[in-house]
Amino acid sequence: MTRRIVLLIAGCLLAAAFAAAQEPKKEKPRSATAAETMNEPKIKTEHIQVMRPASEEIELPLEFRMAIYEKVMENLYKTGRFQHVYRDGEQPPAEVNDLVKLEITVWGFKEGSARMRQVTTVTGQTHIRVRIRAVDAQGNERLSRNVGGDVMFFGENLRATDDLAKAIAGAIKKIVVPGKK
């Protein structure tokens, strides 16, 4: 009897693995390599404006969209690199001539299950993938990179936005040199 159960479970696992291998893979935008990251030109600025996360292909729930936005704002401020972090739609003073705009485009999202993660610890992961672009005051793209956030084992699904916001702030911190503070 137990041998039948083992064979049944093994058969189910093989069928699931075969089905997953047969799904067409969506082409993902390419991430920057370590060499490209080191050669990125530095931006000298004290001001950054974070645009609301956009998504053309992915249906991202509002709570994730808002959490990404607020946590990116918070994490950029915590870097200590910026005198002011502006919100989307906020008009900076006329004397601010070194404003960098940060655009966030969501291209991948899989909402997992906190309950499944607690029960199995191998299923139910939440993944968020975005493309960030930093555009300087002259309209030149200074950074374009894929960044991701995940909840792999324990925690609520929105915790993936914490991971994502830290990764975005880290990428921006690497290319920004504090201006004239």
Asked if residues 172 and 48 have their Cβ atoms less than 8 Å apart, the reply is yes
Please tell me the distance from the alpha carbon of residue 111 to that of residue 97, in angstroms, as a whole number: 40
> Which tens digits make up the pLDDT trace of 86-101?
999 999 988 888 899 9
Find the range with the poorest average confidence among 2-6, 43-47, 159-163, 168-172. 2-6
3-class secondary structure, 97 = coil
> Which tens digits make up the pLDDT trace of 3-38?
666 666 766 555 555 555 554 444 444 444 444 445
Residue 114 CA neighbour count, 13 Å, CB half: 7
> Which tens digits make up the pLDDT trace of 111-141?
887 777 667 766 778 899 999 999 988 899 9
> Which tens digits make up the pLDDT trace of 50-72?
999 998 888 889 999 999 999 99
Average pLDDT over residues 156-176: 90
How confident is the model at residue 181, as a pLDDT?
A: 43
Asked if residues 25 and 77 have their Cβ atoms less than 8 Å apart, the reply is no
Predicted TM-score of the model (pTM):
0.74
> Which tens digits make up the pLDDT trace of 141-154?
999 999 999 877 76
Please tell me the distance from the alpha carbon of residue 149 to that of residue 129, in angstroms, as a whole number: 7
How confident is the model at residue 26, as a pLDDT?
A: 45
